[in-house]
A and B are shown apart, each in its own frame.
Chain A
Amino acid sequence: MSSLVTRVRIKQIEQLIEKGKRLDGRGVSDYREIKIEQGLIERAEGSARVLLGKTEVLVGVKVETGTPFPDTPNEGVLTVNAELVPLASPNFEPGPPDENSIELARIVDRGIRESKVIDTEKLCIEPGKKVFIVFVDIYVLNHDGNLIDASALAAVSALMNTKMSNYEIEDGEVKIKQGYTQLPMKNHPITVTLGKINNKLIVDPWLEEEQVMDSRLSIAINDEGNICAIQKGCSGYFTQQQILEGLKMIQEKAAELRKKLDW
């Protein structure tokens, strides 16, 4: 996944962070600029494009009918998939999803599922037989670091933008009616990722920092300020102290973003 970063560059990044600065001019706890555009794919029931600095992620939501899982007969189904599209980075290759895209999809999935973003019980058409299935497809269009936060943001934005066709049941068949209803939403989690470089924590690592960092910590915070998903990544470690310190940084950042986004 990672490409080469010269030793000079690594040293430069480390020395700057020591002084609380970063290569792109940000401070250690600054987030990049976020731009969100919703509803740009008309064929999809919902869509959103998120720009996080130069990182660009498009999420499309399709809603179809299908059978529920046997253990949750009264609930609709949510599935999240991620594609690291080859045009997004020289290091992405075509082919079936690799461990990185599976991990990305599963982190976003947990954030959405565990904070109960969608009211899945309202997606039931006929208990045990027919429910709505919500497909969230993450499409990474440009990789400049922190795909997790950008994808999570785009996924929730796209779900907020999702409209389902009205329907009625005739002889056990689902008939589409005129008009749309909004997808029933209950929560709006915000995922914030930290990187650890030289034992210093930085918010929202961009590509070059990702290639240098020892470890990564992503936490999803819901509307109530509770934690609903965590993932540590990369081949480094965190001390117990660093995790609690990181959690504080993430809580502050998530609150700040929530205010800015008005979620």
Chain B
Amino acid sequence: MNEKPEKLIDKKGCRLDGRKADELRPIKIEVGILSNADGSAYIEHGKNKILAAAFGPREMHPKHLSLPDRMVLRCRYHMAPFSVQERKSPAPSRREIELSKVIRESLEPSVFVEYYPRTGVDVFIEVLQADGGTRCAAITAASLALADAGIPMRDLVVACAAGKVDDTVVLDLFDTEDKVGTADVPVAFMPNLNAVTLLQMDGNLAPEEFEKALNMAIEGCRKIYEMQKEALKTKYMLVKQEEEVEE
């Protein structure tokens, strides 16, 4: 077991990993890295390493779950047994089942599900390494996988958490801060529509602190949104270059 640190923020206002209160961890995003999936994305958010893949629109299995007026979006969030300190059983835990549900509900408002009646699209998320804030990084990657699969969307969904450690409201908590901190507020957001599609919280926050954390998380989302768009463009720039070379 790791020792519980005394203080999470030093006198200069620096956090355990050297960040300032409103600073994001380094983020790296790649789109279209799996050849069998219709769309895919890989994200490194701090030490989080997460793969997301989208399959569809395709015929639903089992068929009776399909809907006559829209496409069904399904989502599975899963953590690899080696992704955490102590081996996690590969069977879906109650936490993973809840997260699959809230991640699906955070992506659904972005998809034009009425365009493909009687079909389904599956989103699979594999957390290869977890470092706090996996659901947020997973949503950012999953939304890109859907976009990469060419599914019509209103906007990309991007997610980021804010929270409270010691007495400070901070952005983008990593593992230790998440575990020892006072509160964690994950938020998923569609910047062009000003729509919050996922909002959870656990811990203890005064209403003013919550408002501050919500604003901070949304600002974080806006920053990641730019990286998301960049990653999507980069993939299609490469596709274009390859085509030009062939010609």
- Give CA–CA (A110, B98) in the complex, Å: 13
B56–chain A nearest beta-carbon distance, Å: 17
A86 at the interface (CB under 8 A from B): no
| B194 interface hit (Cβ, 8 Å) | yes
> How many residues on chain A are close to B (CB under 8 Å)?
34
Query: In the complex, are the beta carbons of A106 and B94 less than 8 A apart?
Result: yes
Q: Which of A50-105 contact B (CB under 8 A)?
A: 70-71, 99, 102-103, 105
Q: Does B218 contact A (CB under 8 A)?
A: yes
Interface size on B, residues (CB 8 A): 34
A240 engages B214 (CB within 8 Å): yes
Q: Is the CB of B98 within 8 A of A240?
A: no
Residue of B nearest to A239 (CB): B194
What CA separation (Å) do A71 and B98 show in the bound complex? 23
The residues of A that contact B94 with a CB separation of less than 8 Å are: 102, 105-106
B1 near A70 with CB under 8 A, answer yes
What sequence of 0s and 1s flags, for each residue 183-203 of chain B, a beta carbon within 8 Å of any chain A beta carbon?
001000010011111111111
Q: Which residues of B contact A238 (CB under 8 A)?
A: 195-196, 199
How far does the alpha carbon of A106 sit from the alpha carbon of B95 in the complex, in Å? 8
Q: Once bound together, how far apart are the Cα atoms of A106 and B200, in whole Å? A: 12
B238 close to A (CB within 8 Å): no
Cβ of B99 to closest chain A Cβ, rounded Å: 10
Mostly, the A contact residues are mixed
Among B1, B100, B205, point to the contact of A71 (Cβ < 8 A).
B1
Closest chain A CB from B91 CB (angstroms): 12
- For B198, list chain A residues within 8 Å (CB): 232
Residues A230 and B201 in contact, CB atoms below 8 Å apart: yes
Closest chain B residue, CB of each to CB of A242: B196
Contact B202 A229 (CB under 8 A): yes
User: Is A235 interfacial (CB 8 A cutoff)?
Assistant: yes
Q: How far is the CA of A236 from the CA of B211 in the complex (A)?
A: 21
Contacts known (A70-B1, A106-B98, A227-B207); A114 close to B202, Cβ less than 8 A: yes
Q: Are A99 and B105 in contact (CB under 8 A)?
A: no
Q: Is B124 an interface residue (CB 8 A)?
A: no
Q: Spell out A's residues near B (CB within 8 Å).
A: 70-71, 99, 102-103, 105-106, 110, 113-115, 217, 219, 222, 225-240, 243-244, 247, 251
B binding-site residues for A, Cβ under 8 Å: 1, 94-95, 97-98, 100-102, 104-105, 108-109, 185, 190, 193-207, 210-211, 214-215, 218
A–B complex contacts, Cβ < 8 Å, 15 sampled: A99-B98, A103-B98, A106-B95, A230-B199, A230-B202, A232-B199, A232-B200, A233-B102, A233-B105, A237-B109, A237-B196, A239-B196, A244-B214, A247-B210, A247-B211
19 additional A-B pairs beyond A70-B1, A103-B101, A232-B102, beta carbons within 8 Å, are A71-B1, A103-B98, A106-B98, A110-B202, A114-B204, A217-B199, A226-B207, A227-B210, A228-B202, A230-B200, A231-B102, A231-B201, A232-B197, A232-B200, A235-B104, A236-B109, A237-B195, A243-B214, A244-B211
